[in-house]
Amino acid sequence: MTDATPVWELRNVSKAFPGVQAVAGVSLVFTPGEIHALVGENGSGKSTLVKMLAGVHRPDSGEILFEGQPLLLADPTAARAHGVATIYQEFSLVPTLTVAENVFMGRLPRTATGLVNWRMIRAQAVAVLDRLGIAVDPDAIVRSLSVAEQQLVEIAKAISSESNLLIMDEPTTALALSETRRLHDLIRRLAERGRSILYISHRLNEIVGLAHRVTVIKDGRLVGTRPAAEISLTAIVRMMIGTDVKDHYPKEQHASTEPLLEVRDLRTGSGVNGVSFTVHRGEVLGLGGMIGAGRTEIGRALFGADPATGSMKLAGRPVRFNSPRDAVAAGVALIPENRKSEGLFFNFSGVPNVTVSRLGALLRGPLLSLRREQRLGREQFRELRIDPAAEWKSVRFLSGGNQQKVVIARWLFSRARLLILDEPTQGIDVGAKLEVYRLINTLTARGLGVILISSDYPELLAMSDRVAIVREGRIIDIAQRGRLTEYSLIAAASGTRG
Amino acid sequence: MRTRVFRLLTVSIVGPLAALTLSSLVIALSTDRFLDVRNLQNLSLQVSIIALIAVGSTLVILTGGIDLSPGSQVAVLTMLLATFVKFQHQPLSVAIPEIVLIGGGLGLVNGILVAYGRIPSFIVTLGTLTAYKGWAFLFNNGSPIFSVSDQLEPIFYGTWLGVPRPLYYVVILYLIAFIFLNYTIPGRAIYSVGGNEVAARLSGINVARARLLAFTLAGCTAGLAGVLMTARLNSGSPNYGAGFELQAIGAAVIGGASLAGGYGNILSTLLGALTIVVVQNGLNLNDVPTSWQQIVLGFIIVFAVGVDSWRLQIGALARRVLPAAVLRWSRAAPVGQAVAPTGRSEREVPEITGPRKEE
């Protein structure tokens, strides 16, 4: 199991993207029959590592060895041809085709006349699904399946082709416990048949029972690889957190005891299962949890972007938002995770991007005063230290940090009372992050309430006055600032405790 | 302030202006009849109807939609106007506003289906293109109505201070549209929706209402065009207006509007309309058969859409060929929202501009 010669080996690979060293000098060995777990916090470089093995990214330096020979994986097709089967977090199924067609996508067997051999496809699909113990009709249209079923089909697709290395990136996120168990049985059987398996999961307790070896990476660097039998959960979490000097967070405390937003029993079809909490004026309430735990969904429901049930009071008055427009009118703002596709108007320079939510302030008589708009916009840019070029340049050409500040400026300008920030510092550099933290201070100093959703746990812990831990659409705990450590947050959010 | 208006006016006007100048130049060299005063007056009459419809097409295109139905709207509206005036003896002072309002109603139907029915505008207006045309045939047993009223012709053929009247309508409508788009909240909403629908919704903009408004106003401009068409020929016919939609869309696109929405300048649309009519006129004067004119026009419009798609490559080419001063001037970026489509090639020419100085 462990002494076999490696099928695949990463030797000292590195990969950088503009502004971030995603992977730095990582070496890993994959032997046949071994289940190798890879863990690390969000953004630690796991996905980049996987994508290098899958041929999506090419390492900047270092080499990938296949059966001891250095190999250049030019593209995903080359990786597949060498036996790397990858299951990504995002689905790669065609929703309008059947399960069987998806399983054999790109390699449909033909008959002697060159037509598609449907009988063979169906027979093989049935065989594959049976072997995996997946109770899904091979003729079902993928779109009609549940997310969990789609996940299983995704797995069937990946392992139906010949492979020696099977990579699974968070395969159980959408699965219920029983389905997870079945998947794990399947993984064990595949390993017994000599396949090497790279398994990535946030659910640490899963890994302990499944993996043979555990590798922890942090900030793109290898922290260590240990046999699973010799390592405890606590040790894994400690390795994930590391003992680095903490970043500096300029947290100011402005929280009052005056309730701003009171939420009772919020539920949505998108997976929020009865959430209650209160945000006070000047307070930052952090939402912590794993990706897919339901934090973004809570934010969207509060903003009226998704239909929800439950009751909400804003500044003591009951409110109900049927659309984002209602929420904006009441002074609630959402800064979406994906600022490029959901936050910014690339056809505008910075100024109209800032004023768009309160154009009424620019009216002089029936017409907009562009002069006043320009002046007010420039004031915002100065105050938030936004690149002055934003005054005339399309926001498309601003840096990520400046783009984020433009979006925040919009809600300052529109005098929002409550701001929901979804991953506000994702993909921006350290300096710009600091600026965003200062902005959060500015907001709370003015008495705004902030709901901060962040997967950057040190940031979340440092910038929040209280942190609500979200798991499976519920708030399982709300902790005061300082009462929570990164360790206890990860433990609670990943379900390793209790 | 001075620089601001200057900028608004110059935004994205360079390309269309070059297209118009170039085509005029070529035609003027090919025939000396082009610059004849009579021909120029004739040109202004020809451009007026397309120019009016093109205002509506531009509004719809700015929201990211498309309107294929104005030609059929014109057909119905000429029949309605002829019926109102000739058979029901309504005075023009009543009938004309009615026609504009009914035009708005036709646009409203498109708008409701697109904004609230969430059916793609291409399909909705392709359907109403046929439906409105069919409706036009329901009047007068489907026959044209001739000799509507003696009072109609001066509306189209009259002059004021020696300038054909339709030119005044065009200038006034474009001024109104310019102010609407650049200086009102609904105008800004139209640009926002076309620029990023999701961001617009999350910013509290009523996306459906902006769409509805664009289609309704487009219907009103078709109403104005229907009145002019009836006046021009003193008749109504179910066959009038065929092909206007393509010329109007062409005018917007040649004027630099992006079919993806959010980018475009109403004044450039006027230049686009002029370009189309000038080219047609030039082909006429050079005795090119109508069939060939249509082939040429079709490809010009396809090419203009291509220019929108190839903008980045063109920007790179321009940087190599044009002097920096020209680029800098043509890139004068917007204060309001009327962002130059050339702005999208900013990535290609970042070195030659520093932050602009105001004050």
Task: Give A275-315 pLDDT, tens digit per residue.
Answer: 999 999 999 999 988 777 888 899 999 999 888 999 999 99
Residue B354: pLDDT band (50, 70, 90) is very low
Burial class of A16 by CB neighbour count within 10 A (0 to 12, 13 to 18, 19+): middle
Residue A206: pLDDT band (50, 70, 90) is confident
Which residue, among A341, A412, A331, A352, has the nearest Cα to B199 in the 3D structure?
A341
Is the pLDDT reported for residue B342 higher than 50?
A: no
A-chain residues near B202 (CB < 8 A)? 303, 305, 324, 334, 336, 342-343
CB contact under 8 A, B195 and A394: no
Angstrom CA distances, A44 to A216, A337, A341, A472, B253, stand at 9, 18, 24, 23, 46
Are A65 and A40 in contact by the 8 Å Cβ rule? The answer is no
Specify the pairing of strand A363-364 against strand A367-368: antiparallel
pLDDT recorded at residue A233: 78
Tens digits of per-residue pLDDT, A219-270? 888 888 989 888 887 788 778 776 554 556 888 889 889 999 999 999 988 8
Determine which of A322, A341, A345, A406 to mutate to test the interface with B (most B C-beta atoms within 10 Å): A345
Distance (Å) from the alpha carbon of B342 to chain A's nearest alpha carbon: 11
pLDDT recorded at residue A152: 80
pLDDT recorded at residue A266: 93
Dihedral of the alpha carbons of B117, B121, B127, B130, in degrees to the nearest 10: 140
CB contact under 8 A, B344 and A394: yes
| Chain B CB within 8 Å of residue A372 CB | no
Distance (Å) from the alpha carbon of A364 to chain B's nearest alpha carbon: 10
Residue B133: pLDDT band (50, 70, 90) is very high
Q: What average pLDDT score do residues A461-465 get?
A: 92
CB contact under 8 A, B335 and A351: yes
pLDDT recorded at residue A393: 82
Determine which of B4, B203, B265, B312 to mutate to test the interface with A (most A C-beta atoms within 10 Å): B203
Determine which of B193, B337, B346, B349 to mutate to test the interface with A (most A C-beta atoms within 10 Å): B337
pTM: 0.77
- Shortest CB distance from B196 goes to which of A324, A344, A371? A344
The Cα–Cα gap between B28 and B19 comes to: 14
Q: How many beta-carbon pairs under 8 angstroms link A with B?
A: 120
B294 Cβ contact partners less than 8 Å away, ≥ 6 residues apart: none
Q: Residue B254 — φ and ψ, nearest 5°?
A: -65, -30
Distance (Å) from the alpha carbon of A317 to chain B's nearest alpha carbon: 20
Q: How many residues does chain B have?
A: 359
Residue A4: pLDDT band (50, 70, 90) is low
Burial class of B287 by CB neighbour count within 10 A (0 to 12, 13 to 18, 19+): exposed
CB contact under 8 A, A357 and B339: no
Are B215 and B60 in contact by the 8 Å Cβ rule? The answer is yes
Residue B343: pLDDT band (50, 70, 90) is very low
Tens digits of per-residue pLDDT, A57-90? 889 999 999 988 888 888 888 888 888 988 876 6
Chain B residue closest in CA terms to A420: B202
Q: Which long-range contacts does B16-21 make (Cβ < 8 Å, 24+ apart)?
A: B16/B254, B16/B255, B16/B256, B16/B268, B16/B271, B16/B272, B16/B275, B17/B271, B19/B254, B19/B271, B19/B272, B19/B275, B20/B271, B20/B274, B20/B275, B20/B278
pLDDT recorded at residue A436: 87
Is the pLDDT reported for residue A15 higher than 60?
A: yes
Distance (Å) from the alpha carbon of B204 to chain A's nearest alpha carbon: 4
Is the pLDDT reported for residue B206 higher than 70?
A: yes
| Chain B CB within 8 Å of residue A445 CB | no
pLDDT recorded at residue B145: 94
B-chain residues near A411 (CB < 8 A)? none
Are A349 and A356 in contact by the 8 Å Cβ rule? The answer is no
Tens digits of per-residue pLDDT, A311-335? 999 999 999 999 999 999 999 999 9
Tens digits of per-residue pLDDT, A415-461? 899 999 998 887 676 677 888 898 899 889 999 999 999 888 888 99
pLDDT recorded at residue A376: 93
Phi-psi region of B206 (alpha: psi -120 to 50; beta: other; left: phi over 0): beta
pLDDT recorded at residue B337: 38
Residue B323: pLDDT band (50, 70, 90) is low
Beta strands in A59-104 (DSSP E): 61-66, 69-71, 84-87
Is the pLDDT reported for residue B336 higher than 80?
A: no
CB contact under 8 A, A345 and B199: yes
Are B263 and B256 in contact by the 8 Å Cβ rule? The answer is yes
Q: Residue A208 — φ and ψ, nearest 5°?
A: -60, -40
CA atoms A389, A390, A396, A398: torsion sign: positive
Distance (Å) from the alpha carbon of A199 to chain B's nearest alpha carbon: 35
The Cα–Cα gap between A415 and A132 comes to: 55
Are A148 and A156 in contact by the 8 Å Cβ rule? The answer is no
The Cα–Cα gap between B165 and B163 comes to: 6
Residue B126: pLDDT band (50, 70, 90) is very high
B-chain residues near A357 (CB < 8 A)? 203-204
B-chain residues near A419 (CB < 8 A)? none
ipTM of the complex: 0.81
Is the pLDDT reported for residue A355 higher than 90?
A: yes
A-chain residues near B8 (CB < 8 A)? 370
- Mean pLDDT score of chain B, rounded to an integer? 85
Per cent of chain A over pLDDT 70 is 94
Tens digits of per-residue pLDDT, B151-191? 999 999 988 888 899 999 999 999 999 999 999 999 999 99
pLDDT recorded at residue B3: 44
Is the pLDDT reported for residue A495 higher than 80?
A: no
| Chain A CB within 8 Å of residue B191 CB | yes
CB contact under 8 A, A342 and B202: yes
Look at the block and give the residue holding tokens 């240990």: A226
pLDDT recorded at residue A426: 77
The Cα–Cα gap between A172 and A181 comes to: 10
CB contact under 8 A, B202 and A359: no
The Cα–Cα gap between A200 and A181 comes to: 16
CB contact under 8 A, A347 and B195: yes
Helix boundaries (H) for A334-429: 339-342, 350-355, 370-383, 400-413
CA atoms A463, A401, A435, A326: torsion sign: negative
Are A237 and A223 in contact by the 8 Å Cβ rule? The answer is no
The Cα–Cα gap between B59 and B216 comes to: 10
pLDDT recorded at residue B80: 96
C-alpha A13, offset from chain centre = 24
**Residue-by-residue DSSP string for A285-320:** EEEE--TTSSHHHHHHHHTTSS-EEEEEEETTEEE-
Q: What average pLDDT score do residues B330-348 get?
A: 37
Tens digits of per-residue pLDDT, A122-161? 888 888 888 777 788 889 998 888 777 887 888 888 877 7
The Cα–Cα gap between A32 and A197 comes to: 8
pLDDT recorded at residue A132: 74
Tens digits of per-residue pLDDT, A187-204? 898 888 888 999 988 777
Q: What average pLDDT score do residues A455-478 get?
A: 89
Chain B residue closest in CA terms to A343: B199
Residue B326: pLDDT band (50, 70, 90) is low
- Shortest CB distance from B203 goes to which of A328, A366, A394? A328
Which residue, among B94, B42, B49, B46, has the nearest Cα to B223 in the 3D structure?
B49
Cα radius of gyration rounded to whole Å, chain B: 21
Q: What strand order describes the sheet that includes A284-288?
A: A332-335, A418-422, A449-453, A284-288, A466-471, A474-480
Joined tokens for residue B249:
């869309």
Distance (Å) from the alpha carbon of A365 to chain B's nearest alpha carbon: 10
pLDDT recorded at residue A89: 67
Chain B residue closest in CA terms to A361: B185
Specify the pairing of strand A273-280 against strand A259-268: antiparallel
